């Protein structure tokens, strides 16, 4: 009789699953209610919560909009979860060293977009490094930008940024400070990777 080996689940997939479930239960929403609010099917939400599916960046954007949270919040540990790495071991009033090898990186299974969290949970702003592959396009609904202040800083390559009806071509070194929530698209229309940083602070509580 052969032994069946259960496939391992990426820790970030587990983290996203826990966060989505926590946010849904905090609002006392059923799967159907979250589906109505987000436009994501109940079956897909259920698979995400059971760690059976890794959500794409587009799905994360829809869920974050329904919760009125930034996308970064759904990639952060749920309340009560422990973050691993050097920063967690540092004293609350000391310097928290985060080694590059310890930084969690999430990869969008749909586009290959990669997001690496730079700051830890104690830092007052959220900073992430994004790598957007050539030809990739990631849209987000306006509600995904509610209650946050956000800056985008292009580090390498070119980013075509759709801010509502306005399109900005941003090159390395360029920054854009986002205003009122609007439908936005992060696109790489070149044949080389684009790398940019997102700096986010919470503006108000939903």
What average pLDDT values come out for the chain (206 residues) when binned by 10 residues? 52 89 96 95 96 90 87 68 43 63 81 88 86 95 86 98 97 96 96 96 66
pLDDT on residue 154: 98
Using DSSP, state whether 6 is helix, strand or coil. Answer: coil
In the chain, CATH 1.10.260.40 covers: 11-68
Summarised one tens digit per residue, pLDDT across range 59-78 is 998 998 899 887 777 877 65
In the chain, CATH 2.60.120.10 covers: 102-202
- 70-81 exposure pattern, b = at least 16 Cβ within 10 A, e = fewer: bbbbbbbbbeee
11-68: CATH, from 1.10.260.40, 2.40.10.220, 2.30.40.10, 3.40.50.10800: 1.10.260.40
pLDDT on residue 167: 98
39 contacts: CB under 8 Å, gap ≥ 6? 62
pLDDT on residue 86: 43
Say which CATH class 102-202 falls into. mainly beta
pLDDT on residue 96: 73
pLDDT on residue 31: 96
The phi, psi pair for 140, rounded to 5°, reads -130, 140
């Amino acid at each position: 009789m052969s032994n069946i080996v259960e496939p391992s689940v990426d820790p970030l997939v587990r983290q996203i699953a826990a966060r989505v479930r926590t946010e849904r239960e905090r609002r006392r929403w059923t799967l159907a209610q979250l589906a109505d609010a987000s436009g994501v099917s109940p079956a897909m939400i259920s698979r995400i919560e059971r760690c059976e599916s890794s959500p794409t960046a587009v799905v994360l954007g829809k869920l974050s909009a329904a919760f009125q949270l930034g996308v970064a919040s759904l990639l952060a540990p749920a309340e009560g979860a422990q973050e691993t790495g050097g920063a967690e071991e540092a004293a609350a009033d000391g310097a928290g060293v985060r080694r590059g090898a310890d930084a969690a990186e999430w990869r969008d299974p749909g586009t290959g977009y990669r997001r690496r969290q730079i700051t830890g949970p104690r830092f007052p702003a959220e900073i992430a490094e994004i790598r957007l592959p050539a030809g990739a396009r990631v849209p987000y609904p306006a509600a995904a930008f509610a209650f946050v202040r956000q800056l985008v800083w292009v580090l390498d390559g070119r980013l075509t940024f759709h801010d509502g009806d306005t399109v900005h071509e941003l090159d390395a070194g360029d920054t854009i400070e986002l205003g009122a929530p609007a439908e936005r698209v992060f696109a790489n229309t070149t044949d080389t990777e684009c790398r940019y940083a997102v700096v986010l602070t919470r503006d108000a509580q939903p």
